[in-house]
């Protein structure tokens, strides 16, 4: 009860704004995924960070309160080894969805700010549909049906009344079980709803960027980074496979675009999703920086290969502020 009251007081506009003006010096790395209208997407809506309008407003706000850096400037800043004397920001986008080019890129150009786009190289210039997008698509299409996870007694009713929360619950569940694997679940979903899978397969839409678009963004002030080759959780891989993902993706992006890649964002990025070996390989592969997805302000940066990022998942600017404050 008391906690709820405190939370309510702390989320009042004047309280948030008071603390927003006084957030500490440091490097704030903001992380976006998809941009656009999540409510009209046939795919995983939770992967949308915010709308174009909200991104525009957020960049305006960030420009007022931070000095926005690019990777080279961050490198110079850290190399001085001095305590951070103000609030710096780095803007990043993960996964390489097409809307990063069609919607986010024009907004960033308009504001004359640079951002880093972390590409999953296996997805670029393909008709690939990420597993989370396929799961969301199939469940939404199979509204009204029942489904039981193979080899598991867990049953889901794809209720038409609250299909979006069913999708969320389903994702939450499958991310936490080890058996069956996601691959097995996807195959089973496809076999259970073959007509929806067929429609999805015939959909010719490209969800991800192509190399030309990535090159164009880099030519116009944006930066390209690696999000590995296949988006596999690095901590689940042996050293040789981690090297292929981390080092191989850098080489692919550099070969395909002619642009130097200086940083990597570990897929999913929570502490259990990468290892000391991942950060070590990133260093050996001559990246200058490695970013995780652990929320937090970097008041100091002791390990360049383990930098925290603040995830943006709401159009509401208050959420962005609160994520920096708490």
Residues that bind Zn ion (CB under 5 A): 94-95
**Nearer to Zn ion by C-beta: 29 or 142?**
29
**Nearer to Zn ion by C-beta: 61 or 294?**
294
Report how far residue 8's alpha carbon sits from residue 189's, in angstroms, rounded to the nearest whole number: 41
Query: From the DSSP assignment, how many helices (H) and strands (E) are in the chain?
Result: 15, 12
**Nearer to Zn ion by C-beta: 47 or 285?**
47
Residue number of the CB atom closest to Zn ion = 94
165 is written with which tokens? Answer: 């929360």
With H, G, I as helix, E, B as strand and everything else as coil, classify residue 304: coil
Report how far residue 29's alpha carbon sits from residue 34's, in angstroms, rounded to the nearest whole number: 16
Question: Cα–Cα distances in Å, from 169 out to 133, 145, 173, 233?
Answer: 14, 16, 6, 21
**Nearer to Zn ion by C-beta: 94 or 223?**
94
Report how far residue 197's alpha carbon sits from residue 141's, in angstroms, rounded to the nearest whole number: 9
DSSP secondary structure letter of residue 214:
H
| Minimum distance of Zn ion from residue 64's CB (angstroms) | 29
| Minimum distance of Zn ion from residue 94's CB (angstroms) | 4
**Nearer to Zn ion by C-beta: 309 or 321?**
309
E-state strands within 250-306: 263-265, 289-291
**Nearer to Zn ion by C-beta: 78 or 116?**
116
With H, G, I as helix, E, B as strand and everything else as coil, classify residue 18: helix
Report how far residue 259's alpha carbon sits from residue 232's, in angstroms, rounded to the nearest whole number: 24
**Nearer to Zn ion by C-beta: 94 or 134?**
94
| Minimum distance of Zn ion from residue 266's CB (angstroms) | 9
Question: Cα–Cα distances in Å, from 5 out to 2, 9, 12, 13, 54?
Answer: 5, 6, 11, 15, 28
Q: Please state at what angle helix 194-202 crosses helix 131-141, rounded to 10 degrees.
A: 120
| Minimum distance of Zn ion from residue 229's CB (angstroms) | 12
| Minimum distance of Zn ion from residue 71's CB (angstroms) | 18
| Minimum distance of Zn ion from residue 249's CB (angstroms) | 12
**Nearer to Zn ion by C-beta: 244 or 270?**
270
- Kind of pairing, strands 146-148 and 155-157? antiparallel
| Terminal-residue alpha carbon distance, the chain | 20
| Minimum distance of Zn ion from residue 130's CB (angstroms) | 8
Question: Cα–Cα distances in Å, from 323 out to 19, 306, 316?
Answer: 11, 19, 11
**Nearer to Zn ion by C-beta: 94 or 133?**
94
| Minimum distance of Zn ion from residue 22's CB (angstroms) | 32
| Minimum distance of Zn ion from residue 54's CB (angstroms) | 20
């Amino acid at each position: 009860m008391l906690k709820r009251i405190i939370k309510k007081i702390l989320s009042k506009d004047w309280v948030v704004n008071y603390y927003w003006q006084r957030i500490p010096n440091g490097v704030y790395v903001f992380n976006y995924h998809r941009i656009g209208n999540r409510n009209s997407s046939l795919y995983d809506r939770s992967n949308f960070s915010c709308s174009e309008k909200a991104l525009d407003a957020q960049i305006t706000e960030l420009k007022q309160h931070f000095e926005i850096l690019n990777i080279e400037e961050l490198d110079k800043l850290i190399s001085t080894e001095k305590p951070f004397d103000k609030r710096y920001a780095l803007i990043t986008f993960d996964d390489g969805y097409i809307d990063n080019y069609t919607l986010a890129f024009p907004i960033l150009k308009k504001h004359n700010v640079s951002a880093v786009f972390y590409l999953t190289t296996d997805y670029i210039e393909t008709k690939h549909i990420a597993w989370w997008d396929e799961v969301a698509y199939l469940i939404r299409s199979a509204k009204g049906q029942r489904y039981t996870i193979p080899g598991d007694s867990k049953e889901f009713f794809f209720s038409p009344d609250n299909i979006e929360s069913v999708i969320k619950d389903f994702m939450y569940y499958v991310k936490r079980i080890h058996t069956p694997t996601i691959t097995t679940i996807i195959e089973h979903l496809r076999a259970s709803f073959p007509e929806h899978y067929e429609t999805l397969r015939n959909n010719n839409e490209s969800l991800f960027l192509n190399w030309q678009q990535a090159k164009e963004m880099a030519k116009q002030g944006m930066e390209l980074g690696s999000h590995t080759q296949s988006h596999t959780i690095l901590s689940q891989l042996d050293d040789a496979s981690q090297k292929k993902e981390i080092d191989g993706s850098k080489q692919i992006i550099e070969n395909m675009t002619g642009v130097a890649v200086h940083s990597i964002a570990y897929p999913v990025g929570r502490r259990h999703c990468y290892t000391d070996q991942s950060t070590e390989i990133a260093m050996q592969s001559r990246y200058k920086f490695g970013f995780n997805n652990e929320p937090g302000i970097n008041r100091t940066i002791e390990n360049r290969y383990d930098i925290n990022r603040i995830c943006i998942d709401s159009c509401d600017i208050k959420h962005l502020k609160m994520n920096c404050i708490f």
